[in-house]
Chains A and B, each alone.
Chain A
Amino acid sequence: MSASLAVPAPRAAAPNSYWAGVRRRLLRDRVTLICGGILLLMLLAMILAPYIAPHPPFQGSMVRRLKPIGFPGYPLGTDELGRDMLTRLIYGGRLSWIMGITPVAIAFVVGGFLGIAAGFAGGGLNMLIMRVTDVFYAFPSVLLAVAISGALGSGISNAILALTMVFIPPVIRVAETVTTSVRNLDYVEAARASGAGAFTIVRVHVLPNVLGPIFVYATGLISVAMILASGLSFLGLGTRPPEPEWGLMLNTLRAAIYTQPVVSVLPGICIFVTSICFNLLSDGLRSAMDVRQ
C-alpha cells in the first residue's frame, strides 16, 4: 500500500450552482440592495406599528388640525382631523401594501397555473385560455380596475378582486410564452421519450425553468399594483374612511393643499418610494436571475 493512497482526494469544488450565482450578483448590485433595505425597513415599521407609532391612529383633535411638519410631539404634522401624520403613514402602509401585493400574489398563482397549463397542453385548451385572456387585454388596465370595482362598489376586498382580474391576464401571457418555449426543448422531449408522464415532466422539467421568469415578471407588477390600489382608494373605491391608507389619505388631504401643502403630499411620497423600490428591486432580480423578456 503506497503512501500516496492515504492522501485524501482533493475535495470537489463547490458546485457553481445557479442560485449561488444569483446571490453573488445580487450582493454586488448596490441599487437593488438599497431598495430591498428600504422596503424591509418599511415592512418592519408596519409590523411594529403598535409599538413604534407615537400616537393612536384614529385619535383626532379639533384644535390640532393641519399642523406643519416639526410641530412639537407631531414630527410630520397632523391631518385634517388632527390625527398624527407619522402614525397614520406607518399604519397606512399596511393596507396599501396588502392591497398592492395580494392581487399580484393571487395573479401569480392563478395566472401562472393557467398560463403553464395553456403552454404545456397546447391545442384547444391553449386556444380557450389565450382567447379569453385577449378579451381582458382589450381593456386598459386602469379602466378595467375602475370598471370592476366601480360596479362592485367600494371596499378593500372588491378592490383586491378588481386588481386581481387586471393582473391575471398579463401573468397568463408571460407564463404561456415561457412554458411554450420550454416545452419544445430537447430535454423535455427526452423525458417524454423515456416514458415520463405529463405530471412528472411539468414538476421536474417545466416548473423549475418557468417559475423564475414568471416570478420576476410578477415582482415588476407590484409597483403598478401599488399605484393602482392607492389610486382606487384615491377615487373612493378602495378603503373607506377613517381607515388609514395612503391613497385615501391623499384624497382627504387634497383640500389642504392651500394650507399645508407639504403635509398633504406626504402619503404620495410613501407610494412613490415604495413603487420605485419595487420597480428597481424587480429590475435587479431580473438581471441577477438573467431573465430576458
Chain B
Amino acid sequence: MLLYLLRRVLYAIPIALSVSLVCFMLVHIAPGDPINAIVPPDAPADVVEQVRISYGLDKPLPIQFAIWLGHVVTGDLGRSLATGRAIWPDLSNALVNTLILAVTAATIGFVLGCFLGCLAASFLGTWVDRLAVGLAVAGVSVPHYWLGMVMVIIFSVTLNVLPAMGAGPDGSGSFGLDWAHLRYLVLPAVTLCVIPMGIVTRAVRGIVAEILNQDFVTTLRGKGLRRSGVLWHVVKNAAPNALAVMGLQLGYLMGGSILVETVFSWPGTGFLLNNAIFQRDIPVLQGTILVLAMFFVALNLGVDLLQTAIDPRIRRA
C-alpha cells in the first residue's frame, strides 16, 4: 500500500515535468521569434539583446527550459507584456475566483448528477430513466457559452433579478460571502454546472445500475433490510468510481470555465486567458495554463490516492 502511494506520487513528477515542457514550448510554437513574445514590438534593439541574454534565449533549448523551470519553481512566472506587472499576483487572485466558481458549479452539478443518476438507475427503462438520461445528454451537448447568454437574457435582461456580469457590486474582483456578492455567482455557476451534471448523471446511472444487479443487493433485500439500508450499501460501493469521475470533472471545470467566465466577465483565470489571447500576451497565457495544468495533475493524483484509500478492494502494490 505504502509502496503504491510512493510510486503514484513519484509517477506524478515526470508528468508534471512534461506538462511544464509543453507549456514552455507554447512560446516557441507561437509564430515569429520568441523574443517578440516577451518584449513589446517597439523596444530598442539593445534592450531586446539584453532581455534575450537575461532570459537565456541565446542558449540552446534544453538549457533555456532549465532556466525557465528554475524561475517557475521559485514562483517567478515572468511579466505581462500588456501591463508590465508580475504575473503571479494577478494570477493568484484570478485562481481564487475561478476556484470559487468551479467548486460551486461542481457541487451543484455533482448533487444533481448523483440524484438523477440514482433515480435513473432505480427506475431503469421507465420514463424517469429516459427523462434523466435526456437531461444528461442535453447537459453534455449544450454549448455552455450559449447557455450563459440565454441565462443573461432571461434573468438579467427580461426579469432583471440577477446581475449579468462581474463578481461583486463594487466592480472589484474581490468576493464576499453575503448575498450582494453571492448573487453574482448564481448565473455563472448554474451555467457551468450543466456539464458535470450530465457526465455525473450518466456515470452514476451506469455504476449504480451495475451494483443493483449484483447478488449481494438481492441478499440484502432478501434478509429484509429497509430501502435506506440497502441504499447505504449501494452508495458505499459506488462511491470510489463516482468520486473518480467527479474529481476529474472539477479539474475540467477549472480549465474549462474560460468560455463561461468570458460570457459573464467573471474575473478568474479564464478571463485572464481571454485577455491574454486578445493582446497576444504569451507570458500570461503560458503562466496561467501552466498553473491550471499543474492543478489538474495534483487533482488527478489526489483523486487516485483518495480512491485507493476509501476502497478496500483496491490493493495496488
A residues bordering B, Cβ < 8 Å?
A: 131, 134-136, 138-143, 146-148, 150-153, 223-224, 227, 230-231, 234-237, 247, 250, 254, 257-258, 261, 264-265, 267-269, 271-272, 275-276, 278-280, 283
Contacts and interface: CB of A to CB of B under 8 A. Distances in A.
Contact of A138 (B15, B140, B280): B15
Interface residues of B, number: 52
Contacts of B30: 151-153
A contact patch SS: helix
Interface of B: 14-16, 18-19, 22-23, 26-27, 29-31, 137-138, 140-147, 149-150, 152-153, 157-158, 251-252, 254-256, 258-259, 262-263, 273-274, 276-278, 280, 282, 285-286, 289, 292-293, 296-297, 300
Q: Which 7 A-B pairs have the closest CB atoms?
A: A268-B146, A140-B255, A143-B255, A276-B141, A142-B256, A135-B18, A275-B141
Given A223-B140, A235-B258, A279-B140, A152 B31 contact: yes
B141 A135 contact: no
A254 B252 contact: no
B contact patch SS: helix
B143 A271 contact: yes
B165 to A, nearest CB: 11
B255 A257 contact: no
Contact of B289 (A143, A227, A231, A280): A143
Contacts of B262: 234-235
A231 to B, nearest CB: 5
B29 A152 contact: yes
A122 B152 CA distance: 52
A237 B18 CA distance: 25
Contact of B296 (A140, A234, A272): A140
A142 B167 CA distance: 23
Contacts of A250: 143, 145-146, 149
Q: Please indicate which of the listed interface residues A134, A143, A153, A257 has the most CB atoms of chain B within 10 Å of its own CB.
A: A143
